[in-house]
Chain A
Amino acid sequence: MKTPAVIKLVTAGAKDRKQFVAGSAVALIAAAFLLMLPGFAGHATISLFSRIFILAVFGMSYDILRGFTGVINLGHAVFFGSGTYLAGILFLRLDPTPGTLLLAVIVTVVYCSAAAFIMGKIAFRGGGVIACAMITLALGEIVRHLAETWRDVTMGADGLTFPIPYMFRDRLLFYYYALLFLILMVIVLRRFVLSPTGRVLLAIRENEQRAIFLGYNTTTYKMISLQVGGISAGLSGVMFALLTRFANTELLTIQQTLNALLVTIVGGTGTLYGAIVGTAFVQLIQHYLLTLRDVHPVFTRWLLFFGSIYILVVLYMPAGIVGAYRQLADLLSSRNKKKIA
């Protein structure tokens, strides 16, 4: 039997329950695996996974904007990098204590909220998606340039090394902190996208003009989306500071933004979980391709292979890994239904 390329004629009622059961099962297995991982994995793997957890939150924050609202923000790294810098600067100037960390979190939330407000006020001034992308790109570059030239505070291009609170220095313990952070952010962001507000964001992504004619003030909703995305990214930046104990201007570049874009595309945009899967996929591939350099020196050029894999994913899984999984599940359930009928 030939099936159409895109299977979307799906009913939801029974699917919702099935999806919930399947989703819970996947989440439980993943949680069990991740909780036990430190039992048999080495230090390098544990650090790699801590990194994945933190960058996954950054990816999700980007998905809120691009995947759910349809806004392309090319300056998103500003929130992430600022979180890392703010935490680093505070640890360096004050004492590296849990109190300072709390202060860093508060300062980051306030800073990212203000930055998102300013960015949104400029970028959502009636221009289209492209105008928004260009304006956010320019704003991002301005912040990066400021960080590079303000050497007294940021150490410029040399980067900033800083101490962190004692309780976060243990890699194993930090692994669990990072996992907890990811789980908390998943719960919060999932609630957000399932809220009435989150649904309006989808409407804006689908057809902004129609959303306006339903009576939604779409600019306000986009501002909310940018607030949520910006603050989440900032918090992941603070966690990243605890992981690397180092900040440099690379964290503020468009490359950092594109990394988030990349993981959402690979994992599946507009799915939230796609960002987690995508981050794990990208980081693990990068890691294992690099370890292959002992086999053959060509693997030091891991980007070559990574690029090829990326193109294959985009060509054959345009909805990303999570999207492809859902399509497959839909396909199977609709076949079952036919058998019953």
Chain B
Amino acid sequence: MPADPSEPRDPGERGHPGILTPGVFAACFRSATPALWCIAAAVLGERDHAEDVLQEAAMIGLDKRASFVPGTSFAAWMGQIVRFTALNHRRKRQRRASTETGPITGEVAAPATAIDVVFDARVIAALSTLGETARACLLLKTVIELDYAEIAETLGIPPGTAMSHVHRARAQLRALLGDDATLAKEPP
């Protein structure tokens, strides 16, 4: 998506702005949104409340922007705020309904077949068995196709660790889905 020329530009050009004025914050937040969305969804384990988390985290970040260290990664700094906000949401939700499990809802790209619907539900269930960081690594790699260095910077972990998380997460999902993955290959 081309940048809106009316938006303030990120003076760091690569997500490493200098002084974080409110305008720069808004521009950086906009460009970092895909990664922040994945972090929120990974911590929550679902997508339904990820936008609410991003909204709340954005207000917190805007208020606390003085704590941003100029020249460092905005996505990493904001990612931490998103993570804590999502953790709070998750804890509140668990307190409200500790045993509740529901169907996948919200705005999801339309599955192509009925088998896809079943398979997607199983993938999400399998995803929930991974650790939070592994989920975030896998979603950042798969959904928005960050490279390992970008994942590492965003999550504040070494690149080798990010790579290891992705590989182990894929292997664990393959093992958990087992025959389901094979089933999904077959036409209905």
Task: Note whether A and B form a binding pair.
Answer: no
Q: What is the interface of chain B, defined by CB distance below 8 A to chain A? A: none
Residues of A that sit less than 8 Å from B by CB? none
